[in-house]
A = this chain, B = another copy of it.
Amino acid sequence: MELLKKRIVKDGRVIGDDILKVDMFLNHQIDVELLQEIGKEFKRRFSDSEITKILTIEASGIGIACIAAQYFSVPVVFAKKGTHRNVGNNVYSADVYSFTKDVTTTITVSKDYIQKEDKILIIDDFLANGAACAGLIEIINQAEAQLEGVGIVIEKGFQPGRQALESAGVRVESLAVIKSMGGGTLTFE
């Protein structure tokens, strides 16, 4: 997606060998017009899938998923991190290890909001090691729902997330795939 790649080059910041900060437009400040184009592109790529629900994870996936959901005319469900008093015990859950923060977080989704009949599109901002996606897929499996695919805004193509997902038979659509990063710059695949 050229518009997105141009924006990453213009406003993204490469830190070290594996951190790309895009909080200028994607996950702290949010350019909603860019998100609309991202949402349309997800809809175009998954136009052959019958999607009933979009699943994401708090916090930075929520805005992307909500804007995209408008083009699919489906609700969004976001997995919550940690234990929440108001969620109760009626939940599906999975553990997600964050390589960035070196902590394992439990993510939960209420059993009320994923049904066996659901055909689910996962949407998230980044794909690196695929740990967050694996957790969301575990939850979809617990609900015996159907995973239609994974839509990612920015994929770190030099990390093993895509391979892990595709080995499990999961369709992955990334709007920008980074081939390599370092020295303050990056190249796309």
* Chain A residues packing against B (C-beta within 8 Å): 19, 21, 23-25, 28-33, 35-36, 58-59, 62-63, 65-67, 69-70, 73-78, 80, 85-87, 100-101, 109-110, 112-113
Q: Give the number of times this chain occurs in the complex, counting copies.
A: 2
A29 touches B77 (CB 8 A): yes
Give the docked Cα–Cα distance between A53 and B148 (Å): 35
Give the docked Cα–Cα distance between A25 and B24 (Å): 29
Which residues on B sit within 8 Å (CB–CB) of A32?
Answer: 66, 69-70, 74-76
Which residues on B sit within 8 Å (CB–CB) of A67?
Answer: 66-67, 70
Give the docked Cα–Cα distance between A25 and B66 (Å): 12
Give the docked Cα–Cα distance between A32 and B53 (Å): 11
Give A185 Cβ to nearest chain B Cβ, in Å: 19
A75 touches B31 (CB 8 A): yes
- Given A19-B86, A101-B85, decide whether A80 and B28 contact each other with a Cβ distance below 8 A: yes
- 8 A-B pairs with least C-beta separation: A58-B59, A63-B66, A29-B113, A30-B76, A62-B62, A59-B59, A32-B69, A29-B77
Which residues on B sit within 8 Å (CB–CB) of A75?
Answer: 25, 29-32
Give A39 Cβ to nearest chain B Cβ, in Å: 10
Most buried by B among A30, A77, A87: A30
Give A99 Cβ to nearest chain B Cβ, in Å: 12
